Structures are given as C-alpha cells and as structure tokens.
Amino acid sequence: MILRNLLVSLLIVMSTGCLASSDLVKLTREAFGRPGLRPNWSDAKKVQAVTIYEEGEVKSPLWFTQAHGVLTEVFFPTIDKGQIKDSQFYVTDHKTFVLEEGKDFEHHVHVLSPSRVRLVNINKSFGVTIIHEFFSLKDSPTLVDEVTIVVERDGLDFYLLSNPAIDNTGYYDSASIYQNGFLVSEGSTQLFIESSVGFRKRSVGFVGSSDGHQDLAQDKRMDFDFNLAENGNVATFGEFNLPQVKGEYRLHVMYHFSQHKEIRSQLDIDFNKAKEAFEQSWKSYLQNKRAPKFNSKEEADLYWRSLVILKSHEDKLNPGALIASLSIPWGEKQYETPGAKIGGYHLIWPRDLYHAAMGLILAGDLKTPIDALRFLKKIQYQKGDGVWDYNPRVIPKEGGFPQNTWVTGESYWGGLQLDQIGYPINLFWQVYRRLNENEQKLLRAEFDTMIKKGLSFIQKYGPWSAQERWEENFGLSPSTFSSATSALLIGGELYKGTEAGDSYYRTAQGWLTKPGDNIDTWAFTQNGPFGDGQYYLRVSGCQSYSAVWDPNSKESCHVANSSMRVTPQDFLDQGFLKLALLGLKSADDWHVLKSLEKVNQYIRVKTPNGYGWYRYSNDAYGEDGKGRLWPLLSGEQGRFAVERYLVGNLDWNQALSQVNQVLDSFVKFSNKGLLLPEQVFEHTGEGTGGATPLAWTHAEFIKLLWARETRINPENPFRPFSTVVE
C-alpha cells in the first residue's frame, strides 16, 4: 500500500515539477479515516441555478447552484451529473473562533441581472465580509468564483473547504495535491481547484475524519498535511495565501472539469471579460424573447429571471432534455448507498418538461420545445420494451413514455403515469398550432409515429392510471384524465376525417359524456365529508387495481406518503381544474364550481405572502411528514379565473383581481435570488426544503402573466393563442 501511494504521488509531482529527496516522506502521507462519512447532498434552497448560454458547439457543459451563501451542487458534463456537493470558506484567528461561511454568517443575495447574483456574507461580530460572484467560462467547463474579502481586524486566516461528489456520488473519489491546487477524480472525470492567490498550506482528507473541518475543530489551526486520499468521501482544504492584516482583498477560485483530458491552470485569463461574456450570453438569448406587460418591476424581474431558469434547466449535450430542478429536495437528508445514485429532481419528467416548454413557447422560444419533442421521441417505449404489470391490468409499454429518465434516456423510476403520455401530445399541439403550413407538414412528418403511438396507448389503456399527477395513487384521477382526454381530442383534430381521428374523438367524448359512464359518474362524489359532500375526488378506484370507479365508495385507500388509510372522499384536491384548463369542461360547470368551493374552504391557506393551496388533504410530502403549500397550484387558480371570465362566469375586473393576487403571491413566494420553490410554509409563505427552483413553478408564473395579457388561458389547447389586449 505504501509503495503504491508513493508511486502515485511521484507521478503527480513529476507532472508539475522536480521532486526533492526531502519530499519523499511527505509524499507517503495518505489521509486517515477512509472512506469517510456516508455521503449526502446539499440544501435545496437555491438562490442561484444557472449555466452559461451557448449556441452551436458546446464548450462549457457546466451548471452551478448556490444556497446559504456558498457554492452547492455543480453539474458536468450533463445536467444530471453532480460533481460537487459544496465548497465554502472558513475563517479563524487561531485562538478564539472558527467561522463556517454557510452557518456563521448573515447571507444576503443581490440579483444583478436575470443570470447573475452576488452573494454577500457578513459576520458583524468578528468584522468579516465575504462577497462572491460566480460565473462560468464560455470556452471551457470552468466555474469562477470572484471573491472580495473585507477584514476589519488583523490576524485572520481564510480557508477553502471543498467536498466533491464526482460522477454524481460522494463515494469512490480520490483527491491529491496537484500543481498549485487540488485534483479530485473518479474514473475519467477530473476536477482541478486552484486560486489566484495560491495556498500557503494544503491538505486532502476524508469527510468526518481527516477533512479541514475536523482539523480546525481541534485547535483552530491547520495541522493536517495530507496529499493523498483515495477511494472515499473526500474533501480538499487550503489556506489562502493572504496577508493577516485588515483590509480588502480580491481573489478568484477556479473549478476546472475535464474528461479524458489534462487539466491546466487558467489563471492568466481576463476575469472581467470572462464575466461580461457570461452576462452577454444570456442577453443574446433574451433579446428577441416576447414579454407581456408588467404591473411592477418585481413582476418584470421575476419574468426574465424565470426564462433564464427554464432555459438553464436544459441539458446541452442532449437538447430538449429539460429537468425538473437543479436541486435535490431536502438534499442534506439524502444519504447515499454505494452503487445507488440519487436522481433528486435533476431528471426529465415528461410532465414537468411539458410545463417548462410551455413557458418558453409563450416567450417565443419554439426551438427548445421542438428539441424537447425530439427528446421525447427518443425515449418513447417501442414494441418489445416490456409491460407494466398491475395484475389484473397488464399494459404493454409500447407508445408510452418513462415516468422519468436520465439524460441518456435510461429510466429512473418505472411507474406509469398517464400524464406522461398525454402531455407530450399536448406539447406537440402547442408547437404545431404556432407554425405556418409548411412548418406544420414537417413537424407532422417528424413526429407522426410518436403521436399516433401515444394516442393509441391512451385509447387502449386510459383513462385509468397507475399513478395520478403526484405519482402516488392509482385509479381514475380528474387531473390525469384531463391530460389524456385533451390529447385524444387533439388527435381527433390532427387526424380529422380519418378512421383513427374519428375514433380518438369518439373515445374522448364517451369519457366525457356517455350517460352513466363518464368522468362525473366516475369521480364526482355525493357523500364526501367536506361541505355539502359534492365535489370531484382526487382519485377514484384507489382501493385496488381492479376497483370499480365508484366515487361514493367508502372502502379505504392508502395515502402514499404516510401510513394512513382514508376513504377516497377524504382526498380533496384541485386536479379537477384541469378539466377546464385543458378545454374539456366549461369553467361554469356546476360540478367544477362546487368542487372549487370545497378546495378554497378546506385546503387553501392565507400566508403572509398570499394564498397558497395544498396538493390534497392528508398530504405527507414535506417537512415533519406534512405536505405544504404548492405555488404552482396558485397559477392554476389564476388561469381558472380567466377561464371563468371567458364563459361569462366572472367579469374581467373580478377575474383580474384574482389573477393579480396570485401574481403578487408568486413575487412574494420567490426567494432573495428570485427563484420559485416547490413548496412554501403556511406560517411564513417562504420556501421549504423542497426543490428550489422548481421549473414547473416558474412556468406557471409565466403562463399566468400571459393569461392576464391576452385574457386567454394559454394552456387550453382549444382556445386561440395570439390575441393580445392593446
């Protein structure tokens, strides 16, 4: 073992300079404590989640996030491969205190533009301010942290502690002293960390035993001097070469990534030009994008920020692969198991992809949604791809889509959610109807087989779903029903006059209106515990795979995120709004309005930042086993008010009042980085530890702004889309 470590160290040093005989003892110093603590990930409350915008050749396939004042997950070379858990500064006077940047500072966030933020971390008690501006280079997968340190006292030293997680796992990493910084690798993937001021001292170690945090905790001094830590959960630790006197200091920390290539220093670049190039990249993307009228600067800022966030959630090497979020919900509690990588939300859900693509469509970006359709076409199941076995329902996968996938198309979760087939067809239609005749012909030729296979799947096996839109319960769900049924009606329009088109239309109309056997007889209860007992269920037939869709049945169902069993009537949610939002029912339908009364009375909460809605009663997906409020649901409420206006159920001023209330809540629900969360707490109206940003939430904000502008719900596939109120 010692000989092997010596040889490895010799090779490292030989690549960078001469080896003195006095260094031989040092070169054998391998860190103790392998493999380190069980790896976890970082907090999902991001204030930044972005990449540099690139057109044409991809040279910087790198995405980065920040939370709590520090760098958190960094992704390379694809958007689903995390490479760093976190990286942060430590400060000590070597006598009385050690400050950890993520925990011991006040964190302030300044949004400088739709693509850039400044992090300002202040510790008033010890007179230290650390300012970060992160940007990536346009011509290489390199992340730059431009740091300004303001010190009000003498005798302080500053350190950088980095915890890589190469190839999307904290296991199996190896770290070493390299050139003027650190090299961390696993397989062919490498990370080189360097600083423009260099490091006086450097060490590598295993997290929880020989890392820098443990080192300073002993005596407030850097005593460890290890130069090799292999095959574990590793960390790098360096003391910056800065004067120990008060003053203001500027430095740059660079994180270089590579595969199969030698990594070299890039400290000779012009950092001002590089930062401007990052900013300019997004200006070039946004310059021709459409915008609605705004009621405030806050609305405008959140709109442009949302477009950058949505586009940043697309993989570069797999165009159109739009992930749900550059975060892992409650990542600090997500501990890894060797060989089982955590997907978090950096995966592609066809459902979430549809919503993100809709937001971009409304801003005038059709290229990304078309690329999204191409990605969907690539991952669609074909003949021979197996079955979903929900005995007695055995459903061949052909024509369906995976529940979610990595960017390679490899399935992560294997469930059947009918939304994942209905929404790709809705997305196709939303693109198709915005093209000229020649473009439509080309689009149909490219995706005809995909669309027909999807329609055939829905017609054969719908409207039952093994999962509704929250991926938890099987049966007949109004929200999932809506995505599938609207897809069939779209198919009827696309193939009008053909046997297939007429068949799609008849099936959809039967599900909607067949006497005694339709969505209302399947899912509208008359004996629920809320109000007068009349409302749409979240899901009907959730007792067993073969259960009859009886909305009045009192046979119990399992609540997926808890150990509870409740009757179907105890599941109150607003999924029925999709019946109107996707053009299947009029917004003044009495079943819909009756249900709306119950939802707004029983699962709506007024927070300090505006109203919010639970996904459903008895939800347990959230902190402390309790579901929280989901801002994306507010967007559905706002667009439903517009649908009510369109059928004369509300006048425009009434609808506008509801829409503006929701838009105002979106602005207030956004955090200091103008990122919108998956969930917010009832008592504060601030984001939980769930995914932030959630692309779907940003898309809902965009959709509602355009609904206000045009007085039309843009998601309704059967309404016009181009009317703009002057």
Distance of CA 52 to the CA centre of its chain: 17
User: Does residue 562 lie in a domain region?
Assistant: yes
Please count the structural domains in the chain.
3
DSSP H or E segment with residue 188: none
pTM (predicted TM-score)? 0.95
Average pLDDT, the chain: 94
User: Does residue 492 lie in a domain region?
Assistant: yes
Burial of 9 by CB count in 10 Å (0-12 exposed, 13-18 middle, 19+ buried)? buried
Amino acid residing at 87: S
Q: Average of pLDDT values for 682-703? A: 98
What is the distance between the alpha carbons of residues 351 and 418, in angstroms, rounded to a whole number?
A: 10
- Pair 233, 356 in one domain: no
- Pair 103, 161 in one domain: yes
What are 148's two structure tokens?
């300004």
Model confidence pLDDT, tens digit, residues 252-300:
999 999 998 888 888 999 999 999 999 999 999 999 999 999 999 999 9
Q: Average of pLDDT values for 491-505? A: 98
- Pair 355, 209 in one domain: no
What is the distance between the alpha carbons of residues 448 and 228, in angstroms, rounded to a whole number?
A: 56
Identify the DSSP state of 171.
S
| Token pair 């970060």: residue | 132
- Pair 455, 514 in one domain: yes
Query: CB within 8 A of 620, min separation 6: which ones?
Result: 559, 561, 562, 564, 626, 627
What is the distance between the alpha carbons of residues 505 and 349, in angstroms, rounded to a whole number?
A: 27
- Pair 3, 114 in one domain: no
Q: Please compute, for residue 278, the number of CA atoms within 13 A of its CA located in the half-sphere on the CB side.
A: 29
- Pair 558, 434 in one domain: yes
Quickly state the pLDDT bin for 27 (edges 50, 70, 90): low
User: Does residue 296 lie in a domain region?
Assistant: no
Residue 60: count of CB within 10 angstroms of its CB:
23
pLDDT score, position 722 = 63
Rounded to the nearest 10 degrees, the angle between the axes of helix 631-646 and helix 695-710 is: 20
What is the distance between the alpha carbons of residues 186 and 167, in angstroms, rounded to a whole number?
A: 7
User: Does residue 368 lie in a domain region?
Assistant: yes
User: Does residue 92 lie in a domain region?
Assistant: yes
User: Does residue 300 lie in a domain region?
Assistant: no
Q: Are the C-beta atoms of 170 and 230 separated by less than 8 Å?
A: no
- Pair 22, 51 in one domain: no
- Pair 322, 202 in one domain: no
| Per-residue exposure over 61-94, b if at least 16 CB sit within 10 Å of its own CB, e if not | bbbbbbbbbbbbbbbbbbbbbbbbbbbbbbbbbe
What are 653's two structure tokens?
């001023």
Give, in degrees to the nearest 5, the angle at Cα 37 between 32 and 39.
130
- Reported for 550-556, long-range contacts at CB under 8 A and 24+ positions apart, including other chains, are 551/521, 551/522, 551/523, 551/524, 551/525, 551/526, 552/525, 552/526, 552/527
- Pair 522, 572 in one domain: yes
What is the distance between the alpha carbons of residues 424 and 453, in angstroms, rounded to a whole number?
A: 11
Q: Is pLDDT above 70 for 22?
A: no
pLDDT score, position 28 = 56
- Reported for 287-293, long-range contacts at CB under 8 A and 24+ positions apart, including other chains, are 288/364, 289/363, 289/364, 289/365, 290/362, 290/363, 290/364, 291/363, 292/705, 292/706, 292/708, 292/709, 292/710, 293/709
Query: CB within 8 A of 140, min separation 6: which ones?
Result: 59, 60, 256, 266
- Pair 322, 231 in one domain: no
| Per-residue exposure over 155-170, b if at least 16 CB sit within 10 Å of its own CB, e if not | ebbbbbbbbbbbbbbb
What are 267's two structure tokens?
């400290």
Q: What is the CATH number of the domain that holds 129?
A: 2.70.98.10
Model confidence pLDDT, tens digit, residues 164-202:
999 999 999 999 999 999 999 999 999 999 999 999 999
Quickly state the pLDDT bin for 444 (edges 50, 70, 90): very high
Percent of the chain, pLDDT > 70?
95
What are 420's two structure tokens?
């994942």
Expressed as residue numbers, the domain containing 605 is: 306-331+344-710
Give the three-class secondary structure for 664.
helix
- Pair 553, 438 in one domain: yes
User: Does residue 133 lie in a domain region?
Assistant: yes
User: Does residue 558 lie in a domain region?
Assistant: yes
What is the distance between the alpha carbons of residues 406 and 346, in angstroms, rounded to a whole number?
A: 8
- Pair 276, 311 in one domain: no
What is the distance between the alpha carbons of residues 482 and 581, in angstroms, rounded to a whole number?
A: 9
pLDDT score, position 4 = 38
